[in-house]
Amino acid sequence: MTEKRQAPEDTRFAGKTFVFTGALARRSRDEAGAEVVRHGGKVSGSVSKLTDYVIVGADPGSKHDKARSLGVTILNEDDFENLLAGKLPVSQEQAKPAKASPKLRQTGRAQKNSNGSKTGGAKSTSKKAPERSLF
């Protein structure tokens, strides 16, 4: 039996990523996640800079702490219900993508200095095995 994806009921949460943490009183986290998807959003199991909302229930744990440290919007269950009902506006601000470290930004090509010589290219990490004599 395969699960079929249904088209979202509306796109109010399109482009938004939600993370749930702690015990919710009104519905299970799976049910809450299904509501997010029904409105066009995504649900993630971990918090990152790409997370738009963290919904906290009772005893939220480390996801709540990480959301706070990253500046992610944190909602309690009442706020989430109001967001679902359209009583709270959905943030129009996009989550900020994580910045690539300087190593990830390298193109892998050698760069030319002002004097025309090449420098700074990506170096191969593979090592050639020493050749062995067959005799």
Positive or negative, the CA dihedral 115, 121, 127, 132 is negative
Predicted confidence (pLDDT) per residue in 67-114, tens digit: 999 999 999 999 999 999 999 999 887 655 544 444 434 444 444 555
| 127 pLDDT tier (thresholds 50, 70, 90) | low
Query: What is the pLDDT at residue 9?
Result: 73
Query: What is the pLDDT at residue 103?
Result: 42
Residue spans per domain, the chain: 17-85
- Which stretches within the chain are classed as H helix? 29-38, 62-70, 77-85, 102-105
pTM, whole model, 2 decimals?
Answer: 0.66
Query: What is the pLDDT at residue 13?
Result: 95
Domain topology for 17-85 = Rossmann fold (3.40.50)
Please identify which residue in the block is written with the tokens 């193109």: 107
